[in-house]
Structure 1
Amino acid sequence: MPLINFLHQGLAWIEPAIVTYGVLALLVILYFESFGVPLPGESALIAASLLAVRGDLAIGHVFMAAWLGAVLGDSTGYLIGRIGGRPLLNRFGYLVKLTPERLSRLEKTVETKGFFMVLTARFIVVLRQLNGLIAGSAGMPWPHFVVANALGGLLWAGLWSFGPYFFTDAFKQLV
């Protein structure tokens, strides 16, 4: 039970922050989460979508804030990866169980399937936070990264913005 209380208290600030500061709070949360800061970005996006259902936010604004926060955050991660590169990931990777061996495998994946990795990484916890850093560290070409990042962010923001927004009533009817 203490773990559940800890998690609940850890997430309790999300809704009040978004109610108080609107989609700007969502954008900031997603921006920082997208380059490695351990924040509950997906939970914040779902909360914002549900606030839009309630009429507190405009769903279009929620979507745009989510997309911008994700794309700008991943782009920042990419630049950090290009500048700090492998030494940075080797030094701090242990914090997310990113061993040098795992990093080597991920860098090889970037070389062979980088576009697909960046496009889909946003849907995988931890990889969502690290994909920009890894793509930058592995030297993925910036134009390829930008296109994959923008498309992946669009798909992810669309799913988690509009999914809860449109399917909340359907879920209520099932329960």
Structure 2
Amino acid sequence: MHFPSPNNVEDWMTTGGYVLLFALLFACGLGLPLPEDIPLIAAGALIATGKMHLAIAAVVAWCGIIGGDCVLYHLGRRFGLGITKVPFVGKHVTVERIERVERLFDRYGFGVICIGRMVAGVRGAMVVAAGAIRYPFTVFVLADGVGAIISGGFFMFIGHWLGKNLDEEKIRRFKFWFLAAALVGAALFIIWIWRNHKKHQLMEFEKIGPPHGPPPQPPEPPMSGQADSLR
């Protein structure tokens, strides 16, 4: 599928301003076939050229991202796996993806949201799965918000750094390294969870002792007096 380039979106946002930035990111959260990093990179470029204010753009972008995710979360909560039959949303979120993310939720919880929202193709399924399994909404917003600050800030930084020269090859390289860093972070998080789980198991084992109790002791030999009485 061919997506508009950051240069195209930058031209649109020069006219549409903050309203268009919010609308695009909100719609991306609902399944608009446009990677959310493109409006974020375009916003960063507009900040670099003085056409947008950093603080306002950052707040508007964050609200657009989280707003779309919250709507998708509640759709997942309302329809469960049936959301895959909802027009527009179901086209991009499959049952297989939702079930895969649910298994990750069972094992890793909070971290899945932070890291999952940084990975295109996982993001929508992660949000729907959170709603479908009725993951606590407050915790979801907190984790999703942290992930949005990290990923959104990174892509706006790319746009700001490149300024007027939004070279698509450079953007692809940056996105590759960002995804690689996110995957390394996910691997480290999983290792940390696994080690803590093993440590907890060891502590529980030491607390309750071996599962079958202490090994049987051989019977003590009878005292000399007892031996005489048995004769």
Query: Among residues 147, 157, 162, which one is paired with 2:152 in the alignment?
Result: 157
Which amino acid counterpart does residue 147 of structure 1 have in structure 2? L
Pair 51,73 (structure 1): closer, same or farther in 2 beyond 3 Å: same
Which amino acid counterpart does residue 168 of structure 1 have in structure 2? L
In 2, Cα distance between equivalents of 1:157 and 1:70: 9
CA-CA distance at 1:90 after TM superposition = 6.2
Spell out the pairing of 1:1-175 with structure 2 (5 A cutoff). 7=2, 10-11=4-5, 13-89=8-84, 95-96=91-92, 98=94, 100-165=95-160, 167-168=161-162
Give yes or no for contact 2:83–2:90 (8 Å, CA) kept in 1. no
Give yes or no for contact 1:135–1:145 (8 Å, CA) kept in 2. yes
State TM-score, norm by structure 1.
0.80
In 1, Cα distance between equivalents of 2:132 and 2:80: 4
- More deviation in 44-53 or 10-19? 10-19
Larger Rg belongs to: 2
Kindly indicate which of the two structures has a greater share of residues assigned to helix. Answer: 1
Which amino acid counterpart does residue 72 of structure 2 have in structure 1? G
Higher relative contact order at CA 8 Å, sep ≥6: structure 1 or structure 2? 1
State TM-score, norm by structure 2.
0.62
| CA deviation string 1:103-157 (max 9, x = no partner) | 3221121222231111112211122233221210122111221110111111122
Give yes or no for contact 1:76–1:132 (8 Å, CA) kept in 2. no
Pair 115,43 (structure 1): closer, same or farther in 2 beyond 3 Å: same
Report the identity percentage: 25
In 1, Cα distance between equivalents of 2:93 and 2:128: 15
SS in 1 for 2:109: helix
CA-CA distance at 1:68 after TM superposition = 0.9
Give yes or no for contact 1:74–1:131 (8 Å, CA) kept in 2. no
CA-CA distance at 1:40 after TM superposition = 3.5
CA-CA distance at 1:163 after TM superposition = 3.7
